[in-house]
Amino acid sequence: MSALFSPLTLRGLTLKNRLVISPMCQYMARDGLAGDWHLVQYGRLAVGGAGLVFVEATMVSEEGRATMGDLGIWSDDQVPGLKRIVDFVQAQGAAVALQLGHAGPKGSAQRPWHGMGPLTEGDLEARGEAPWPMIGPTADPAGPGFATPKAMTEADIAALRAAYIAAAGRALAAGFDVLELHAAHGYLLHRFLSPLTNTRSDAWGGDLAGRMRLVLEIARDLREAWPADKPLFVRISADDYAEGGWTGADSVTLARALKDCGVDVVDCSSGGIAGSATNGRLPRGPGFQVPYAEAVRKEAGLASMAVGLILTPEQAEAIIAEGRADLVAIGREALVNPNWPLMAREKLCGGAADFSEWPAPHGWWLDKRAAILQSLGL
């Protein structure tokens, strides 16, 4: 028996295993709309055998985009493309999750393969991509060259909360099984949490309680808007890795408060408060973020998801078997091998090659191949 391939029930949803495909932005949308690229991307990952497949960070407002290629859920026009993905993923036996995001001052940026810096005149000339106004907890830019955002007013905060509630309604219309609030990687909600970027002196800043307030209010809003039988996750950067920044201990405190808001799982990433969310100078190593997931699970009494350089089936199995997390998410490993979960199951569960869990259009071919290889002694 494998702990990794045991089912997990969260509210009214039972996942067939503990493997999750982490949200990975594709930057391939036009006007926020999901297209063929997204259908194939998430379809091929669902075919690979994970219990839960995340659709990438999907922005709750047009101003909240990180790049012009971001998926969006600020318009009813964006629901059909997402529903097309949901229907296909669910037909493969996987559950499907949507991550709701807002880039804040990290918006108005180039796609990663164009440099990931602020949009410039060159981007406008080459691709018609012009910068747009941004908002943040303060009027401080995200980094050198980035435009100065507007410091959010009470009216801006109310509008943001309304945008998340509307997005939850559209996610429900699209049929998603799980909703995740993105509060990590230096984007808007993380910037409210971190003392490095939230220097407000009103009720939305100051001490830890003030800095956590917006995330907790939006979590409550989503829990009320999202059906009671559907799970709600929150992704956090569990440590800023910067002096005077957000810490692992702060994350446990936040997790306890999120539990009281009705959040079901905390998704433990880290870093990103300064610079790129994917190229930060973090103390990386295999499973480097697992201790944060373990602390949330054991100290806050809340289910957690581990992510970050989880490379082998044995490593993932140990994380679940040792009670360090309830779910294990893989990202880039699944891009290298979309069938990673199916191959991990075969390795961990042992025995002769068994393709009964593979999609039937693939499994019968592979079953015949296995018989041929065996007859040849290969």
Active site residues: 187
User: Within a 10 A sphere around the Cβ of 125, how many other Cβ atoms?
Assistant: 9
DSSP 8-state assignment for residue 106 = G
* Number of helices followed by number of strands (H, E) in the chain: 12, 13
CA distance to 192, 193, 267, per residue, from 291 (Å): 24, 20, 12
By CB atoms closer than 10 A (0-12, 13-18, 19+), residue 371 is: exposed
What is the C-alpha to C-alpha distance for residues 104 and 30, in angstroms, rounded to an integer?
20
What is the C-alpha to C-alpha distance for residues 122 and 372, in angstroms, rounded to an integer?
56
- Is the CB of residue 70 less than 8 Å from the CB of residue 35? no
CA distance to 116, 142, 160, 234, 334, per residue, from 222 (Å): 30, 27, 12, 11, 29
What is the CA angle 66-40-304, rounded to 5?
60
User: Within a 10 A sphere around the Cβ of 286, how many other Cβ atoms?
Assistant: 11
Amino acid at the residue 86: V
Name 59's bridge partners: 72, 101
In our burial notation (b when 16+ CB lie closer than 10 A, e otherwise), range 52-75 reads: bbbbbbbbbbebbbbbbbbbbbbe
CA distance to 74, 343, 374, per residue, from 371 (Å): 51, 18, 5
Name 330's bridge partners: 21
